[in-house]
Structure 1
């Protein structure tokens, strides 16, 4: 049976020194490299010719251990301190004695302001293209927040300004304070943690991220991509007050409201009790004045309506109509009476004429009407119609008599 290769089984392991040397040989073949980051820690021991530096990636929670000659630190083109952005050239190195890795640096260069601004501008264009600056995503600030989340440096002027101005404007305001580092390599991580903590608190209605003025390097954490994306993810409205009026870090563009100064942030977040009271008083006065004007206007309108004849003397029109009706009735009655009288006279005249022309009037003058009784009471018109023995009925003015004809006188 073939014996397994060394290091491939527990029966034939490599000793520590061999593994350490193999790792060192592999790392040594990597060659030199340029690296950029922020100095998170700098340790220059007085009795040592080597300086120890922790170089941090500002966009991620990662770091490298750096070693370099002490003179390289003292002769650097910019004063090295925590938070300084630098570019280093070195070779990866593995120390077999301690089993540790570091980057042995032989050159240190500072990142110029122009390069920093150019990088910020490139990041601004990237975030803008992704829509993080879209005004439609901005959330409104509540009129009166129950609790204001405040992220700022410990005992900073920004903290004092915001709290004093807010309490002067609205004494009952409450703060959820989170003190963090506001510059340097650890600032972004602490600010992001505080932001997540306040955003997860249901009592916090608005979050204020504040810092006083400073150089471009001091304000670099507030243009960090991680912080900008974290602000965009917050469900609670975020107000930024970074630096002074000319300062404009990228987080101002992502935030829901950008305040020029910390004092301005306090004024935007908390209403002024005196101003609100004055506004309420003014609105009450305006409402009362508007109500009085409306009542006066309606009263004037009602007065105008009441002054109109139809309402001032509602029976006048009826009286006028009643008088017209009375006159019309009188006229109609007069005309009817006149017509009746005329017709009555006409009837009287006709009656008189009829009476004059009627048989009764003739009989009254001595005439008589002779009728043949046996002939159906026919009127006797000829003597030949009444021979002797014919019964006759003679009608005179006051009645009628019956007689018997003796014949015509000519017959005798």
Structure 2
């Protein structure tokens, strides 16, 4: 739309601004490829500065945060993107900007987005789960190495393995480590080493490179081959920031080929030092144990019961002797009392004995049949008299009965 203006009849600035706004508003959405020069994220909105890939041309842009977050890969300053945007003119300050409706990664970002989608699909199948990781042998009996011929990665792995464990057996299989034939070559070498019973550890090693150079190590066929491998696999691809999908499916990820060599074999010198230190600690512990036990044994031996074992026997012997003496005294006293009692009983028996009565001058008259005569009326013609020291045969001459109860004597 042309405006009829002249030096004598100029148009107001607002008219020009309004005309530009109407003209730009009639423009539709366009797809633009550019580089993100600046990115300012604020609550609800994001403000960007887009820069041409070749010419020194830049333009402001803005979008809702949801548009930025919907991008498959994170958008950062320096990223190459393709955006769908509609030009917008802001009248108050006369600025022109792009209202972004969609953002897609471009170049390396597109590759990263594809890798991210592949990573999510394989992760959903469980190929990266820790429960499938196989433990590495403490001391490998055979190490298979897949790498490029005469590469720095081969040199780093072989030299460091030899330095750490000179006797470690290495079986090297060479393959292309970039390009379209890389994944197939690595898969063939992996199958050969996995079938070798003398190999119990496989290392896939490559130096650093661009995303395109390391892309074969995110190949789905290679990832599945490593997952199906019965032998533990160590991934040593690129440098620390590089994370191909091979690192996720491998049983161990090493940041560099040198790091892989350090992690698959122990350091012989360090192990020898540790063995020596452990031997010294064991000897020290044994000496301490022996000293402690010797001290305890000496303390036990110094006790009176063990220093003079006869002390207990002597003490018990004294108790036995004292008990025996008490028993003897008690028995002696008992025997003495019994003897006295017997003497008393004997004296009473003697006192009551008929013989003792006869010894006092008494006699016993007996009938010839042995019965004692107690009455003069029972005296036969012949009878016997018992004295203390014998018998007398007597004949009855006369009988004189007593006339009173008193003894005539």
* TM-score normalised by structure 1 residue count: 0.69
Matching of residue 307 in structure 1 with residue 302 in structure 2: yes
Q: Residue 388 of structure 2: which of 368, 381, 397 is its match?
A: 397
Which of 188-197 and 298-307 deviates more?
A: 298-307
Deviations along 1:51-90, one digit per CA (max 9) or x if unpaired, are xxxxxxxxxxxxxxxxxxxxxxxxxxxxxxxxxxxxxxxx
2:122 corresponds in structure 1 to 127
What displacement does 1:153 show? Answer: 2.0
For residues 339 and 139 of structure 1, the distance between their equivalents in structure 2, rounded to whole angstroms, comes to: 95
2:189 corresponds in structure 1 to 194
Matching of residue 328 in structure 1 with residue 319 in structure 2: no
Matching of residue 169 in structure 1 with residue 160 in structure 2: no
Deviations along 1:196-253, one digit per CA (max 9) or x if unpaired, are 1222222222111111112212111111101101111112211001111121111111
Deviations along 1:343-393, one digit per CA (max 9) or x if unpaired, are 2122112212221222112111111011111xx322111111115x2x211
For residues 345 and 405 of structure 1, the distance between their equivalents in structure 2, rounded to whole angstroms, comes to: 47
3-state DSSP of counterpart to 2:384: strand
1:204 corresponds in structure 2 to 199
For residues 173 and 147 of structure 2, the distance between their equivalents in structure 1, rounded to whole angstroms, comes to: 7
Matching of residue 385 in structure 1 with residue 382 in structure 2: no
Report the aligned-residue RMSD: 1.9
For residues 133 and 258 of structure 1, the distance between their equivalents in structure 2, rounded to whole angstroms, comes to: 12
What displacement does 1:112 show? Answer: 2.8
Which of 362-371 and 303-312 deviates more?
A: 303-312
Answer yes or no: is the 8 Å Cα contact 2:376–2:401 preserved in 1: no
210 and 410 in structure 1: CA distance in 2 versus 1, 3 angstrom threshold: closer
3-state DSSP of counterpart to 2:351: helix
What stretches of structure 1 of length at least 5 have no aligned partner? Answer: 1-109
For residues 181 and 193 of structure 1, the distance between their equivalents in structure 2, rounded to whole angstroms, comes to: 11
Answer yes or no: is the 8 Å Cα contact 1:146–1:204 preserved in 2: yes
1:93 corresponds in structure 2 to none
What displacement does 1:136 show? Answer: 2.1
For residues 385 and 285 of structure 1, the distance between their equivalents in structure 2, rounded to whole angstroms, comes to: 126
What displacement does 1:151 show? Answer: 1.4
Describe how 1:212-361 pairs up with structure 2 within 5 A. Answer: 212-361=207-356
Deviations along 1:101-157, one digit per CA (max 9) or x if unpaired, are xxxxxxxxx963233222212222222222222222222222222332111222222
1:146 corresponds in structure 2 to 141
Q: Residue 180 of structure 1: which of 163, 175, 180 is its match?
A: 175
3-state DSSP of counterpart to 1:409: coil
For residues 281 and 275 of structure 1, the distance between their equivalents in structure 2, rounded to whole angstroms, comes to: 10
How many residues of Structure 1 are paired with residues of Structure 2 in the alignment? 298
3-state DSSP of counterpart to 2:326: helix
321 and 410 in structure 1: CA distance in 2 versus 1, 3 angstrom threshold: closer
Answer yes or no: is the 8 Å Cα contact 1:210–1:240 preserved in 2: yes
Q: Residue 372 of structure 1: which of 367, 375, 380 is its match?
A: 367
Deviations along 1:233-287, one digit per CA (max 9) or x if unpaired, are 1122110011111211111111111111111100011211101111111121122
For residues 201 and 111 of structure 1, the distance between their equivalents in structure 2, rounded to whole angstroms, comes to: 43
3-state DSSP of counterpart to 1:403: strand
For residues 401 and 223 of structure 2, the distance between their equivalents in structure 1, rounded to whole angstroms, comes to: 163
2:97 corresponds in structure 1 to none
For residues 303 and 252 of structure 1, the distance between their equivalents in structure 2, rounded to whole angstroms, comes to: 63
What displacement does 1:191 show? Answer: 1.2
For residues 350 and 170 of structure 2, the distance between their equivalents in structure 1, rounded to whole angstroms, comes to: 129
3-state DSSP of counterpart to 2:334: helix
3-state DSSP of counterpart to 1:218: helix
For residues 360 and 201 of structure 2, the distance between their equivalents in structure 1, rounded to whole angstroms, comes to: 136
* TM-score normalised by structure 2 residue count: 0.69
